[in-house]
Amino acid sequence: MTRVFSIFPSPRTGLAVLCAALSLGACTDLAGPLPRAGVPDELEFSMGGYYAPSASVVLRGDTVVLRRAPWELTSPAQIESVVSVPSAQEWADFWTAVDEIGVNFWHRSYVAENIADGAGWSLRVVADGRTVESHGSNAYPDSRGAEHEGEMTPAFRAFMAALEELAGAPLYE
């Protein structure tokens, strides 16, 4: 079941949350693979930037909450939320995609040192005692964990698509 609704918070709220998430230390434990089925213990993803829309995906129990906000310089941004409860098959498809994308190999941090403006992102997944945390600023991992500056990699785009499948809606409209 998918429901869409809107709220009108301060325009700085989403940016503050993103900045806080990016400032947190992250670590990647490569001791074992991520699961192949089931709901994770935690799932959090956010992406946004200056003069760019923002999106976040957060797991609350068995419910995936997608929040999208356009960049609004002069007026409060309208945040749209989409709520979805993925099926067991949708979770299995997500884990298959995560495995094929190589999220298990993503490093703690990806930063393009010479790009001042652009997009930042953060990811935290906890499942079966395994934690993957990764974040970036204008740099993105490929399927082997290598950093690519400026443009999103096919692996990163595929990960965003897997999140969209779980949420039942696009991250950005």
CB neighbours of residue 140 within 10 Å: 24
Confidence (pLDDT) at 53: 83
- The pLDDT of 49-72, averaged and rounded, is 88
Q: Tell me the CB-side half-sphere exposure of residue 48, using CA atoms within 13 A.
A: 27
pLDDT grade, residue 69 (50/70/90)? confident
SS3 107: coil
pLDDT grade, residue 9 (50/70/90)? very low
What percent of the chain stands above pLDDT 70? 77
- Whether the pLDDT of residue 123 is over 50: the answer is yes
Cβ contacts of 8 within 8 Å, gap of 6 or more: 76, 77, 78, 79
For residue range 12-53, what is the model confidence (pLDDT) as tens digits? 333 333 333 333 334 444 445 677 788 999 999 999 987 778
Q: What global pTM score does this model have?
A: 0.78
- Concatenated DSSP letters of 121-167: EEEEEEETTEEEEEEEESEEE-TTS-EEESSPPHHHHHHHHHHHHHH
